Amino acid sequence: MAVISALLMAVVVVYPIDRWFLPEASTVSTKIDFLFRFSMFFGVPILVYVNGFLIYFSLRYRRSKNDHPDAVGSAIHDHRALETWWTIVPALLMVVLAVLSYFVIPLYYPTNQVAASAVTMEAIGHKFYFEFRYPGLKNSVLNEMHLPIGVPVTLDITSYEQATETENEAVIHSFWVPEFRLKQDMVPGMVVPIHFTPSEVGTFRIVCSEFCGLGHSHMWGKVIVQSRADFDKWYADQQRADLASAAGVRPLSLAGGNPAAGETLFNAKCVVCHNAAPFEQRKVGPGLGNLFHDAAHPRLVNGKAANPQDVAEIIEYGAHGDMGVMPNMRANGLTPKDVANLVAYLQTLRK
């Protein structure tokens, strides 16, 4: 057991197991991984000895064929020295781990000085997507968080608070970027500032790691860490989009919508929140099987009549209503062509 322990401890020291499985993409990652390796290093001998003795004793003292069925094993009580040491050693390790963590954890929380030197932006959890607000941008960016490499970021994290008659939007989500070694609950009514500096260019997952409802498993986002030049270019594009939406844009073209392609898309994306069934068969939103032919519900969520162009507008811009929130086209990863296909498909339904 001593040999196995020593070998495994050497593996922990020599090989970057943490980085093999997950790249370190923020400046705090390295420090979190150090804590992980510290626990691993001392955890390995504990694992080997506890399980080693467990296996050894169960073989060495197993019931033999000649034993009486009611035979009782030897009763052993108390071993002062042993008990003292297996209490003191793990307790000391815990104290050291606590002291080390005491120096790492505050790195996540911005001090006044750090906050002043950083980009401050907001992350808001919704059912079931992430909203990001940038300083200087009127429109929020959904599910895709762009960041310049090497620039300290202060992210104000919270959850959408509005509760409607039919749907409670105020639920707890959790913002988790494994490569940043960063996880923070998004709690309605609470804003928690989190601090980090991206240190590697790339695209990383944002995972909602708090069970938040039916669409929880679909709640994914992306962090895209870019060079300063690429980020500035993206930001300028967003500013242009802001201006375009303020000036009012032409409606989407619905020409050539393909119902079959729309059906495939509906079953891949829309079914998270909608059934292709009568209005009453709700999931998050209403059933859409009679969208264009429903005498009981002639008006859309935006108050307009159910015609193709107005349905397309809802898919394009999303909706806020009594029934909850629907993300816009970009957040749903749809192109204008996809919208035309979806509208064509919805028009064929009559349930």
Question: What do you get for the CA distance between the two ends of the chain, in Å?
Answer: 68
Question: Closest separation between CB of residue 82 and ligand CUA, Å?
Answer: 46
Contact (CB, 8 A) for 216 and 200: no
Question: Closest separation between CB of residue 134 and ligand CUA, Å?
Answer: 21
Nearer to ligand CUA, 175 or 345 (CB): 175
- Give contact residues for ligand CUA (rule: CB under 6 A): 125, 128, 173, 208, 210-212, 216, 219
Nearer to ligand CUA, 130 or 345 (CB): 130
Residue 30 amino acid letter: T
Question: Closest separation between CB of residue 163 and ligand CUA, Å?
Answer: 16
Q: Which residues, 6+ apart, have CB-to-CB distance to 137 below 8 Å?
A: 235, 238, 239, 242
Nearer to ligand CUA, 216 or 269 (CB): 216
Contact (CB, 8 A) for 168 and 211: no
Nearer to ligand CUA, 173 or 195 (CB): 173
Contact (CB, 8 A) for 343 and 315: yes
Nearer to ligand CUA, 15 or 211 (CB): 211
Question: Closest separation between CB of residue 145 and ligand CUA, Å?
Answer: 15
Nearer to ligand CUA, 118 or 171 (CB): 171
Question: Closest separation between CB of residue 208 and ligand CUA, Å?
Answer: 3
C-alpha 262/C-alpha 339 separation (Å) is 8
Q: How many CB atoms lie within 10 A of CB 298?
A: 9
Question: Closest separation between CB of residue 207 and ligand CUA, Å?
Answer: 9
Contact (CB, 8 A) for 129 and 142: yes
Nearer to ligand CUA, 43 or 215 (CB): 215
With DSSP H G I counted as helix, E B as strand and the rest as coil, what are the percentages for the chain, rounded to 5? 40, 20, 40
Nearer to ligand CUA, 124 or 342 (CB): 124
Nearer to ligand CUA, 141 or 311 (CB): 141
Supply 236's token pair. 């300028």
Q: Vertex 206, ends 187 and 129: CA angle to 5°?
A: 60
Question: Closest separation between CB of residue 200 and ligand CUA, Å?
Answer: 26
Residues in the chain: 351
Question: Closest separation between CB of residue 264 and ligand CUA, Å?
Answer: 26
C-alpha 340/C-alpha 260 separation (Å) is 12
Positive or negative, the Cα torsion across 298, 304, 310, 313? negative
Q: How far is CA 155 from CA 29, 113, 268, 271, in A?
A: 17, 15, 32, 32
Nearer to ligand CUA, 170 or 306 (CB): 170
Q: Please report the beta strands in the chain, taking only residues with DSSP state E, as ranges in sequence order.
A: 119-126, 129-133, 141-142, 144-148, 153-159, 173-177, 182-186, 192-196, 202-208, 220-226, 319-321, 324-326
Question: Closest separation between CB of residue 218 and ligand CUA, Å?
Answer: 9
Q: Residue by residue, what is the 3-state secondary structure of 48-76?
A: HHHHHHHHHHHHHCCCCCCCCCCCCCCCC
Question: Closest separation between CB of residue 224 and ligand CUA, Å?
Answer: 20
